[in-house]
Amino acid sequence: MLPKVRKAVFPAAGLGTRFLPATKAQPKEMLPLVDKPLIQYGVEEAIYSGIQNIIIVTGRGKTAIEDHFDVSFELEYLLESRGKKDLLATVRSVSDLINVSYIRQKEALGLGHAILRAQELVGNESFAAVLSDDVIDAETPCLRQLLDVHEFFRAPVLAVMEVPRENISAYGVVDAEPIAHKGGKDRLYRIRDMIEKPKPSDAPSNLAIIGRYVLTHEIFDCISSIEPGSGGEIQLTDALKKLLHSRPIYAYRFEGTRYDAGDKLGFLKATVEFALRRHDLGEAFREYLKSLHL
């Protein structure tokens, strides 16, 4: 049997400049959507997709992320002694979730550079990469959808979505041809080329790469051999473009809704929609929103 993808890398060492000042002293991955930090949504997605080994690439605010996934004896003791069983279970379930390892990216030199830091921990295996400021609501977890394609082709697979032309310059964009695939429902593409943050007039399509990837270990050599690209950063898209010379790469237009929670407006939209869906909060919150007479 072919080996399963066992590890997911979470780059969380970016500067989060779009969310200053909140991200001055803590990573944006710790911003809470309702009551859960962004990174926990991503970690849960990985777990629901069958991946249990989590590698977090941290920069500043390292302790906040580590403490979040660690056991908090004081907090557990306090909740236990006060008989707060539900809260205790919530807190314990976070630290029981996963096997987690951390690696440091000392300088924010780009997403590609952050992924390269995980090379030793990943080894010679295929792995997932999750950018947890992209929060994805989907019936089948987005990462699971990508893994299904990866398990069929044994090739790298990137999640893509259609984006309006005027916004395309914020993304890596693929030039890709649709291909038939069982159960793929016109969602699968073979990538011909890709470009990071193109001008709208240079964009080869409206298919933007978002923050879910299944990668093969050859990506590490490609990242090591490229120069800084757009924004002076070591770009993952440039390394993927290089990898494309030696093997096919696929794009999958995933089923689900993606929120850009690393952006203030995207974060607010996600907060409102996730709060409305909560059984303990949704009704009261809906009434409150109605009372605003917008």
Binding site for ligand UTP (CB under 6 A): 11-19, 57, 105, 108-111, 113-114, 131, 133, 262
Q: How far is the CB of 58 from ligand UTP (least distance, A)?
A: 8
Nearer to ligand UTP, 87 or 109 (CB): 109
Instruction: Name 32's bridge partners.
Output: 37
Q: Rounded distance, CA 117 to CA 175, Å?
A: 28
Residue 101 beta carbon to ligand UTP: minimum distance, rounded to whole angstroms: 15
Spatial distance between the Cα atoms of 224 and 220, rounded to a whole number of angstroms: 6
C-alpha 21/C-alpha 158 separation (Å) is 31
* Pairwise CA distance, residues 142 & 51, whole Å: 13
Q: Which is nearer to ligand UTP, 109 or 244 (CB)?
A: 109
Give the nearer residue to ligand UTP in terms of CB position, either 133 or 148.
133
57 near 115, Cβ under 8 Å?
A: yes
Minimum CB separation from ligand UTP for residue 131, in Å? 4
- Rounded to the nearest whole angstrom, what is the least distance from the CB of residue 15 to ligand UTP in the complex? 5
Looking at the Cβ atoms of 171 and 189, the one nearer to ligand UTP is 171
Distances (CA, A) of 213 to 121, 228, 252, 270: 17, 21, 10, 21
CB of 14 to ligand UTP, least distance (A): 2
Nearer to ligand UTP, 79 or 131 (CB): 131
